[in-house]
Structure 1
Amino acid sequence: MPLGKYYCDYCDKQFQDTSSARKRHLQGLQHQRARALYYDSFKAQNQIQLESIGRGVCNHFLRMGFCQYGDSCIYIHPMPQHLQNPIAQLKPAAEDAVRGGMGISLGNLPTSLRPPPEGGYPSLPFVDWG
C-alpha cells in the first residue's frame, strides 16, 4: 500500500506521511521559524512593542536615522511621533464634527448613518431595462 503525502502549510513543503518523518519535520528549525513568522503576522503592533520592552533603544538608529541591521536588529527602532498615532491626524474638521449645535459627532459615523446633504441627493438618470 503506497504511503500518503503530508503537506505543511507553514513551510510549503510536502513529504511522506510517516510518524517519524512528520515528527522530524515538526521539530525542525525551519518549520519552527516558519510557524513563528506566520503567527507573528497576526499580532497587533502594540503587542509586539510590549514584548520588546526589555530591549534597549538602538543608539545608531537614534543618531543616524537608520540601522544597518534593519528589522533583524536586537534593539528597538522608535518610530517618529507622526507615525505612531496616525488616527490623531484623521480628526474631522470642526464644522463636520458638530452639526446644528446638537452635539452629534458625525466624524466617526459610517456614510449610511450620516444625515442627507442640505440640498438632498442628486437624482439618478432614468434607465429603461425593458
Structure 2
Amino acid sequence: MTQIVDITESAIFHINEMMKNNGEEGSFLRVSVKGGGCSGLTYGMGFDQEKSENDFEFQEFGLNIIVSKEDAPILQGTVIDYKQSLMGGGFTIENPNAIASCGCGTSFRTAKKAGTPESC
C-alpha cells in the first residue's frame, strides 16, 4: 500500500458522517484530479464501490482510500483537512505540487501538468 495523500482525523470524521448519511458505508473514498477551473486542474472527492487495477489503495484512520495511478504524482504529499469557522465548515486541500491556484481556490496547476483551464 502506497500512501498518496494524508487525511486528518477531523476530515475522516466528516467523511464517515457523509458516508453514513448517504448510505455509502464500506465504500472507498476516491481522491482525484480532473481538468477544469481557472488554473486548469480541480480536485475531486467521492465515494466508489470498486477499485481498479490502475488504483493505489491505502488506509487512513480506518477509511479505505483510492487514487488512480495517473493522479498519484499530482496528489503525492497532499493534506486534506476539515476546518470549522464562524461561517461554517469545509474541506481544505494543501498540495505541495501546486505552483499556482486561482483566486477562488478551487483549481490549481503543477509544474508538470497544467490541465485544461476554463475562463472564470
Normalised by the shorter chain, which TM-score bucket? under 0.3
Instruction: Tell me which of the two structures has the higher relative contact order, counting C-alpha pairs closer than 8 angstroms and 6 or more residues apart.
Output: 2
More strand by share: 2
TM-score norm. by structure 1 comes to: 0.17
Calculate the TM-score normalised by the size of structure 2.
0.18
Bigger fraction of residues in helix: 1
Instruction: State the structure with more CA Rg.
Output: 1
